[in-house]
Structure 1
Amino acid sequence: MASPCNPQYFQNQSLSLWLLALVFTLTWCFSVSESHAQIQLTGEVGGNVTIHCPYDKHRTIQFFYFQKGDIFVNGYYDSRNIRETGIWNNTRVDHGKATVHMTNLNISHIGTYKCHIMYKNSASPSDTDIHLSLTAKYSKPEVTTSCFDGFGCHITCSSHGGYPYTKVTWSEPMNELMKDEISSANPDPHTMTFNSSSSAYFNCSNGELNFSCSVGQVTSDMLAICTPKDPPEFNHYNHYAIAIAISAVVVFSIMVASLVWWQYKKGKTGVASVDVRQEWKADGYDEEAAKLSEQNEGEQAS
């Protein structure tokens, strides 16, 4: 009777039946399988990764079975793919090799996988553990500030879409003046990546401060806080308006003064004219009286 670990055991079975038998017998065969040291592999969220399971290139692979824990991922038997429900649609295997191509990676793909390889004319399979780790770059940190005149500033630095969780760090000058820092990590329920933020209060007693914040390898722009307030900007238009207003006031004042002076002069001239007229009238009366007196004397003499 053929051993269940012998590849000849599978050759006369139909595709739908041999996969069930394969999974069943692998459980027993792996207890006596050859093992290799675990391989560490790193990918990036949203990217692709190619997993090369170690195998003997001088031997012919009978079947290749790739799984995560107890979950079948993909594989092939002889020259045929194993087309059963549950195969990951984002994976593809190379026939004749122990290679798996995995695309569109997300956080759920992190974990330990196992490569099972059975060679022809072999009594036991060879298996290797591969641990897949993923990272995601954080966005460029955004900084918001709220300052209180001459006292201090409340600053928040935040970044999103990263993995694994990484704490916000502040540039060196800020660490010495930081008060009441609060850090938080909020996982995105859809992508399972993290939003990292930090809020802190900084004292302005030492004057202007230039700082930046970082999350992982990503750093914000350099910013300044506690800067002295600039004096009000000189407005040339206001200057011209003020000059025109002053000039108008001066001209108006001169006009009023001239009018008052003219009225004053006019008043004095009128009084003088009255006096002259009165004097002329007095002189006229005297002449008239003299004439009358002369006439009276003439009449008396005659």
Structure 2
Amino acid sequence: MAPSSTKCSLSNRGPSLLLLALALTVTFSLTESDKTIQLSGEVGGNVTFQCPVDDKRTISLFYVQRHEEFVNGYYGERDMDLHKWQNTRLDRKRTHVHMYRLNISHTGMYTCLIQYNNDQVIKASSIQLNVTASYSKPNVTQSCDAAGCSVTCAFYGGYPGNNVTWKIHGSRNNHSQLLNVVNNTQVPSPSTMLVSSTSTVYFNCSHREIRNLSCSVGNVTSDWFPVCDRKPEVEPNSHNPIIIVVAVCAVLLSLSVGAALWCRHKKRQTDREKKENEEESKNLQVLEK
């Protein structure tokens, strides 16, 4: 935006300039810089608003505001502590405003207002603050049936909201032939504005096993994982050779033990009968004499 000489009353610049308007009721000229400064931060982190100043001149007024809301600054020798944002700190020597404990609501356009001694012109420069948040590593779940598998990737706590993307690594086939995207949703938290991004895809497992699949949002990517790698399950009524062999061995062992016990019992019974017959024979011989 080219510099302008638009006249504006300080009392119309909102509550951030109210104190100055009460002290000086004259009308000043406002000039704006033609370039917006880009500033980036992450949720929970810190940023510093470095407003462009002429170090060779003495500043009489320095304000940082968002729209018409005062953020921090000073006029003359007086800091505006009662009206400042509580998560900001003013550095008068370097004309910086430090902002900490960032959250998504701090995203927006900010304005630096600077006036020098013996100058009725207030210079304005714009700073665009963008606050982002990295998504967590995704939670990956699979659910398979006889025909295929559904895979869900869920990312939490990120900003801005982005769709989940899927990639089959090392595949020469068109991804659309191997997977079908069932849904792709972003749900923001009402309190923090952080986004949960979730996507579900369905794979037809009749093609082949997919060994290297991943999902991602922004710069966060899951580990590679396989899909359709299920091993055939043994049906309850099927004949498992191992089970059959074990069962036959158990039966044979039982028969062998039973036969051994029966033979021992039979031998004892035969020996007892033989002994009884011998004693009876001896008794008869004694009687005959």
Q: Which amino acid aligns with 1:167?
A: N
Q: How many aligned residue pairs are there?
A: 247
Shift of 1:219: 1.3
Report the equivalent of 2:204: 203
Secondary structure at 1:140 match in 2: coil
Q: Report matched runs for 1:9-20 at 5 Å.
A: 18-20=19-21
Change beyond 3 A, Cα 1:181–1:53: same
Provide the residue aligned with 2:257 in structure 1. 251
Which residue matches 1:294? none
Distance 2:257 2:18 in 1: 112
CA–CA separation in structure 2 for the residues paired with 1:255 and 1:176:
69
* TM-score normalised per structure 2: 0.74
Q: Which amino acid aligns with 1:74?
A: N
Deviation at 1:198, TM superposition (A): 0.3
What is the TM-score when the length of structure 1 is the normalising length? 0.71
**Percent identity of the aligned residues?**
41
Amino acid at match of 1:68: R
Instruction: Write the deviation string for residues 214-265 of structure 1: whole angstroms up to 9, x where unpaired.
Output: 1111111222121141677x9x99987874553222332465589899999x
**Which residue number in structure 1 is paired with residue 38 of structure 2?**
40
Residue in 2 that maps onto 1:29: 28
Contact (CA 8 Å) 1:163, 1:193: kept in 2 or not? yes
Q: Measured at CA, do residues 215 and 64 of structure 1 come closer, stay the same or move farther in structure 2, by a change above 3 Å?
A: same
- Deviation, 1:89, is 0.3
1:242–1:20 Cα change, 3 Å? farther
What is aligned with 1:188? 189
Question: Which residue number in structure 2 is paired with residue 102 of structure 1?
Answer: 99
- Write the distance in 2 (CA, Å) between the matches of 1:138 and 1:257: 77
Q: How does 1:107-146 map to 2 (within 5 A)?
A: 107-146=104-143
Question: Per-residue displacement from partner, 1:106-163 (whole Å, max 9, x unpaired)?
Answer: 11110000000001111201110000011100000111110013x1001111001000
Q: Deviations over 1:50-81 (max 9, x none)?
A: 11000001111111011100111111122320
> Taking structure 1 as reference, are residues 239 and 97 closer, same or farther at Cα in structure 2, changes over 3 Å only?
same
Q: CA RMSD in A?
A: 3.6
Corresponding residue of 2:223:
221
Q: Is the 8 A contact 2:67 2:110 kept in 1?
A: yes
Give the aligned residue type for 2:142: T
Greater radius of gyration (CA): 1
User: Hey, what's the Cα distance between the residues in 2 that align with 1:222 and 1:168?
Assistant: 15
Q: Is the 8 A contact 2:185 2:198 kept in 1?
A: yes
Structure 1: which 5+ runs fail to align?
6-15, 274-302
Distance 2:152 2:163 in 1: 13
Structure 2 unaligned spans of 5+: 1-6, 8-16, 235-239, 278-289
